Amino acid sequence: MRTRFIIAALVWTVASAASAQAPTPDAVESPADYRGCVLSKCHGTPGAFIELEDGSTRPMTVDTSHLVDSAHKKLSCIECHSDIEVIPHPADLKLVNCESCHYAQNPRGAPNVGQFKQYPESVHGRKRAEGDEKAPYCTDCHGVHDIQGPDTPSSHVHRKELAGTCGGCHEDESTTYATSIHGTELAADNPDTPACIDCHGVHDILEVGDPESRVHSTHVVETCSRCHAAVALADRYGFSALRVESYEESFHGLADKYDVTVVANCSSCHGIHNILPHTEPDSTIHAANLLDTCGQTDCHPDAQDLFATGEVHMGIAEARPVAVSFVRALYMLLIVGVIGAMAVHNLFDLRAVTRDRRATTQRRDA
């Protein structure tokens, strides 16, 4: 539980004295009660603290410059702190409920892009509801009095701030991401490069193991393809939009289409948060690392040099090495062979089962 306000009687003495002061008109268009709350000594004295029952202290000061720059500049204090009815107010205030305004078709015009429905079903919402204090509520990602829309550069949820906002809790992923091609491009203001939310979602983030997750092994191809199969982006950055098509034609791609999860998807070869161009020595697809990448114990433990030097995204290369064409043909043969054999096997199996069942029914009937 987060600590609640336990406001000592002493504070209220100060409060009453403060409310007697003539309020100075607020320079910025802000609701009248800002003056009462903030220009009073209660919430307006820099560095003011209250002492809580357990002996700890909590800041009392509200920096109006945060509020007047925030998306909520037109709201009054008590619209959010809605259980305040009298001043001085009771000590035990409820936490602010963002969802009291941000729901679909709310009359206040608070934007809602499904947060109201999606958040409780996300991994964060569910963990939070189960009592996991480490899982974020709205304020952990958005801030408190300084909440701004995602397009404002200083917003905690601006694309460029996300590595920090999500990274406050997911440090390893964020640190790695920052050194990847996607991370360095984001830092360099490239608007087309993925931030955390482009691969994971926003209010609907799910566990990696959830089959519905955008980063579940069966959805990785789809997630990367949104950009890497887009011709406009390909033209802009000089990468081939055929990467996806060529992958899909390959053995790995065909198997992925049929949801065989053990096969290589984009991330198995390119990495996840550490994706780099093949020219970078640290890249998983740098020539020197390819054998390691393909030879991951559960993939191709016996991968030979020949295998590693073959074109992976076949079809892009104009002249395909003979060995690669051969492996490709072999793969196609294998796919047709394995799937065909499986189909025939299943057909026989089905016949056997139906025959058995018919026999049992006849025996029962007799």
- Binding residues among 73-132 for ligand HEC as defined by CB under 6 A: 74-75, 77, 79-81, 95-96, 98-102, 108-111, 113, 115, 119, 123-124, 127, 132
The token duo for 356 is 């058995």
Phi, psi of 148 (to 5 degrees): -135, 160
Q: Measure the CA–CA gap between 38 and 318, rounded to whole angstroms.
A: 70
Window 5 to 44, contacts with ligand HEC (CB under 6 A): 34, 37-38, 43
Is 62 an interacting residue with respect to ligand HEC (CB under 6 A)? Answer: yes
The correct pick among 170, 307, 315, 332 for binding ligand HEC (CB under 6 A) is 170
Q: Measure the CA–CA gap between 200 and 211, rounded to whole angstroms.
A: 13
The token duo for 174 is 């964020």
Task: Please report how close the Cβ of residue 356 comes to ligand HEC at its closest, in angstroms.
Answer: 41
- Contacts of 182-186 with CB under 8 Å at 24 or more apart are 182/275, 183/273, 186/159, 186/160
Total Cβ atoms within 10 A of residue 36: 20
Task: Please report how close the Cβ of residue 242 comes to ligand HEC at its closest, in angstroms.
Answer: 10
Is 185 an interacting residue with respect to ligand HEC (CB under 6 A)? Answer: yes
167 closest CA partner among 175, 158, 156: 175
Q: Of 7-15, 244-252, 332-340, 354-362, which part binds ligand HEC (CB under 6 A)?
A: 244-252
Is 194 an interacting residue with respect to ligand HEC (CB under 6 A)? Answer: yes
Task: Give how many residues touch ligand HEC by CB under 6 A.
Answer: 110
145 closest CA partner among 63, 29, 84: 63
Between 172 and 365, whose beta carbon lies closer to ligand HEC? 172
Alpha carbon distance, N-terminus to C-terminus of the chain: 68
Q: Which amino acid is at 237?
A: Y
Between 22 and 238, whose beta carbon lies closer to ligand HEC? 238
Between 58 and 351, whose beta carbon lies closer to ligand HEC? 58
Window 134 to 163, contacts with ligand HEC (CB under 6 A): 134-136, 138-142, 144-145, 147, 149-150, 157, 162-163
Window 311 to 350, contacts with ligand HEC (CB under 6 A): 311-313
Q: Which amino acid is at 267?
A: S
